[in-house]
Amino acid sequence: MTGTSLSLLFNNLALLIVVTPFKTYRVIFLLLVLFAISACGLLGTRHPEMHGRILHEVHDKPLAHTEVVALWKGTEQQDKTEKRICYHVESATADDKGFVSIPEWREPNTYKSLKNKTIEVYAFRKYYRTSELTNQVLTDKNFNYYLAKPRHIENKNKAREARLRYLQLLLGKTTCDLKGESRKNLQPLFIAIIKEASGLAVTKKDKAVVKKLKGWLQFISVEEK
């Protein structure tokens, strides 16, 4: 039931209350309260819009145009085992001043049985990594996400390999076997990661990593039947 439908129903009930005797009014009032409680449950849990800023870890300089995704995760009971799953994704791009807004989402009761629910945020910017200052599990609707330059490695080949491993790990952490909007919401992040990885690939091993990353992008880009 939509918010508009509920509003119309409440207005009609209020009109009925006005023209109804006092005793009947109390009965209708109780029914109205019970219905409102039930309706709120049917509508699911509302997650308000979240606001963040992407910053450099050293001097707090805003990092514009950074790709950001928020992943809703929970623990699902499967027979006698438990499995951690990702059940929703929202995405956004930081503006010129590094500000980013994760859209509001209403969680349907389909996921009511999941335990240990969290919202995890991941950001990607070319030639940067997530800083240790960042708490990727959101506990507030306002957050700062710190990025840092990759750690210095003298050997260029080892530095390239380390960066490719980081990109592969980041894409792996943000992969969700989902459908619909959640799948589409991952595409900007994946495309940005693969673009950097493709520019780094030199050896046969490097190119195999890029091919694997492109396979994941292809998986989330395929049209659903």
The model's pLDDT over 146-193, given as tens digits with 9 standing for 90+, comes to 999 999 999 999 999 999 999 999 999 998 877 678 888 999 999 999
Report the alpha-carbon distance of residue 47 to residue 3 in Å, rounded. Answer: 16
Regarding whether 52 and 13 lie in a shared domain, the answer is: no
Return the beta strands (E) in the chain as ranges: 45-47, 50-56, 67-78, 81-93, 99-102, 105-107, 115-124, 129-130, 142-148
Report the alpha-carbon distance of residue 54 to residue 123 in Å, rounded. Answer: 8
Which of 66, 73, 108, 126 is closest to 91 using CA atoms? 66
Regarding whether 124 and 39 lie in a shared domain, the answer is: no
Regarding whether 139 and 121 lie in a shared domain, the answer is: yes
- The boundaries of the domain holding residue 114 are 45-221
Regarding whether 200 and 103 lie in a shared domain, the answer is: yes
- What's residue 41's pLDDT? 47
The pLDDT > 70 percentage for the chain reads 79
Regarding whether 190 and 163 lie in a shared domain, the answer is: yes
Regarding whether 198 and 180 lie in a shared domain, the answer is: yes
Q: Residues with Cβ < 8 Å from 6, sequence gap 6 or more?
A: 39
Contact 214, 93 (CB under 8 A): no
Regarding whether 74 and 20 lie in a shared domain, the answer is: no
Would the pLDDT of 32 be above 50? yes
Regarding whether 214 and 168 lie in a shared domain, the answer is: yes
At 173, give phi and psi (nearest 5°). Answer: -65, -25
Report the alpha-carbon distance of residue 12 to residue 134 in Å, rounded. Answer: 50
Contact 54, 97 (CB under 8 A): no
What are the tens digits of pLDDT across the range 107-146?
A: 999 899 999 999 999 999 999 999 999 999 998 889 999 9
Indicate the number of domains in the chain: 2
- For residue 182, how many other CB atoms are within 10 A of its CB? 21
Regarding whether 181 and 111 lie in a shared domain, the answer is: yes
